[in-house]
Amino acid sequence: MHIHIIGICGTFMGGVALLARAAGHRVTGCDANVYPPMSTQLEEQGIELVSGYDVAQLSLEPDLFVVGNAISRGNPLLEAVLERNLAFVSGPQWLAESILRGRWVLGVAGTHGKTTTTALLTWILEEAGLNPSFLVGGVPQGFGVSARLTDSAFFVIEADEYDTAFCDKRSKFIHYQPRTTILNNLEFDHADIFADLAAIETQFHYLVRTLPGNGLLVANAGEESLDRVLARGCWTPIEWFNGKAGWQTSGPDADGGFEVSLAGTRLGRVERFSLPGDHNRANAVAALAAARHAGVPVALALKALGRFQGVKRRLEVRGEVRGVTVIDDFAHHPTAIRVTIEGLRQRIGSARILAVLEPRSNTMKLGTMKQQLPGSLVDADATYCLGSNLGWDVAEALAPLGAKARCFDDLAALVAAVCADARAGDQILVMSNGAFGGVHEKLLTALAA
């Protein structure tokens, strides 16, 4: 079958393309912005890419158009597909019907930590010899790709709550019907599609309604929002983490290692763990519980966690120049920003953290979280924020930080300011869910000069 993907270069749809190609389909696709690294990853797999949404692409005559959720009504290619009554489907629906059906799906949902936890779970299953298929919203170190298809019965997927497509406003994860499900946490996000937290809780309730009685739900005991979701009905056994009655971890030692217990009984120890922060130990123990449900012995899973190499764009060191380290992270929600800084602080101690921030998610652009932003940055020694193309005043929002925060409309000016302030031993922590104008390389080049 020839599949043409409209909006192919997003992380999720790019993963769908890789899976479709691995399943034996001819895959082509288009996007408004065809550029590395996703374009390179796709082209290396023999996937032909077209820049833009010109109606001339109909001449490719695919058997099916798969439509990404970034594509809206008014898109010329989508409008042509609808006018000609051509076959189309959303990415999540195609994935569920063509790839996931009949497999043991392990889904990881929640506002924060989905990518890291999905990667952790995939790594544990891989180390256990289960050779899982996966689709992750990032690139796990040790795999080199965001998605792969194997002949394994197990498929690990990052279960996103964002909407499915222009024609289906349910959350993506409604389509996946996982047998093993992790609910990491639940906060308000995606203000462009959800009116409030209650609306997101309803989508999570719909997910819970699809889970089988012979499955397992691994849930964060510290989240009142998840309590409300599960109080609306749950037909699946639950194992809790972050609570005295469930899975728990100790604090870290000098190597990041920690003890793991279940209902007060010690199960073993992770001797070394590369990811800093309480939130990452919670991610790890949630993955451990899910892996045990899939048949992985706890002792083996603990050893696997000790060999986990991390995920690109999650506290990823991009380089060091003259004693100054530049780190990249995907954090963009105030809670994610706060715990990322806290995790880095646990790793580096008293060294200075220079936080470089780009508020570019749809929620941040709307200004919905602007009042929470200063509190999320308080543990950084200095903050440099790119405030262009926003409908609200970043400098005003960050005013509670005083002289510790500086705002810029020009990227070059921001880079110059950071490099002027940086000194040996500093950690420059770049946080954005986008490319941020290549700021990482700009910083490293300027530091070297």
Average pLDDT, integer, range 12-20: 94
Give Cα separations from 116 to 141, 281, 286 (angstroms).
11, 11, 11
**DSSP string across 268-325:** EEES--S--SHHHHHHHHHHHHHHHHTT--HHHHHHHHHT---BTTSSEEEEEETTEE
Convert the pLDDT of each residue in 17-68 to its tens digit: 999 999 999 999 999 977 666 777 788 888 999 999 999 999 999 999 999 9
Partners of residue 313 on adjacent β-strands: none
Find the length of the chain.
Answer: 449
Strand order in the sheet with 64-67: 48-51, 26-31, 2-6, 64-67, 88-90
Q: Please, which pLDDT band fits residue 371 given cuts at 50, 70 and 90?
A: confident
**Cα–Cα distance between 247 and 286 in angstroms, integer?**
8
Which domains, from first to last, does the chain contain?
2-93 (3.40.50.720), 102-306 (3.40.1190.10), 316-448 (3.90.190.20)
Binned at pLDDT 50, 70 and 90, residue 229 comes out as very high
| pLDDT at residue 219 in the model | 96
Return left, alpha or beta for 223; rule: phi > 0 is left, psi -120 to 50 is alpha, else beta.
beta
Question: Residues with Cβ < 8 Å from 428, sequence gap 6 or more?
Answer: 324, 325, 326, 327, 354, 356, 418, 422, 443
Alpha-carbon span 44 to 317, nearest angstrom:
25
The mean per-residue pLDDT over the stretch 397-426 comes to 92
Distance CA 115, CA 330 (A): 10
Q: pLDDT-derived band of residue 93, with 50, 70 and 90 as boundaries?
A: very high
Dihedrals φ, ψ of 136, to 5°? -120, 145
Kindly state the average pLDDT of the residues 354-372. Answer: 80
Per-residue model confidence (pLDDT) at position 35: 64
Position 372 scores a pLDDT of 82
d(CA 217, CA 96): 20
Where on the phi/psi map is residue 158: left (φ > 0), alpha (ψ -120 to 50), or beta? beta
**121-153 pLDDT, tens digit each:** 999 999 999 999 999 987 888 888 889 999 999
